[in-house]
Chains A and B, each alone.
Chain A
């Protein structure tokens, strides 16, 4: 099946540093990847939609200069949290959408990574 990995699975950093999170589709090409943020005991909040080779589309209220998203290839998207602060501590989850090659039944299905726990001290 379609597998999405995230690295690292957890990270602790000091306030003011930047952290990069990688999202990879391991066995399929993902033209679109999504980045979500999840606070404790809450649902997933969409941060941005990332299309390969173009700029990410950010949801309202998400600072694009703080959360840099790069989707340089069909299997890799990265989220960089710049100048992280304690309020950025959260669980970040990516998902990847399979391409047309998957057939109509799976064309629009999203496959989720295992998430990255970010703690900013």
Chain B
């Protein structure tokens, strides 16, 4: 069965500092990988996704993520965090084909301090 682990429940960074949110997945084959962001009381917004090809994926809002097959990881990064980035971040995995839903990690809450 697929599973997603986000080891960090809560991370606090200073505005302007770099950010890395960790995500590890367990799946028998190469899955589709996603990062979503959720602001309080809001729905999910897709930041980026990986299907195939270049393992470094660029997303919206200056985020990027790197797929590392050997480590079963898909970590999210941003070189300089803005206060508006404070939110909940979810990593998710899905098989490439079939009718199964996304499997989400438990999320990482990001706080940004001045």
A-side residues, CB < 8 A to B, are 6, 32, 34, 41-44, 46, 49, 51, 91, 93, 95, 97, 105, 107-110, 112-115, 117
Q: Which residue of B lies closest to A59 (CB)?
A: B101
Are A42 and B41 CB-contacts (below 8 A) given A108-B95, A109-B49? no
Are A112 and B99 CB-contacts (below 8 A) given A43-B90, A44-B90, A44-B104? no
The 4 closest A-B pairs by CB, nearest first: A114-B43, A115-B43, A112-B44, A34-B101
A110 and B102: CB pair below 8 A? yes
**Which residues of chain B (18-77) have a CB below 8 Å from chain A?**
32, 36, 41-44, 46, 49, 51
CB-defined contacts of A42 to chain B, threshold 8 Å: 106-107
Are A110 and B101 CB-contacts (below 8 A) given A43-B90, A43-B107, A44-B90? yes
Are A110 and B94 CB-contacts (below 8 A) given A43-B105, A44-B104? yes
Docked Cα-Cα span, A92 to B41, in Å, equals 11
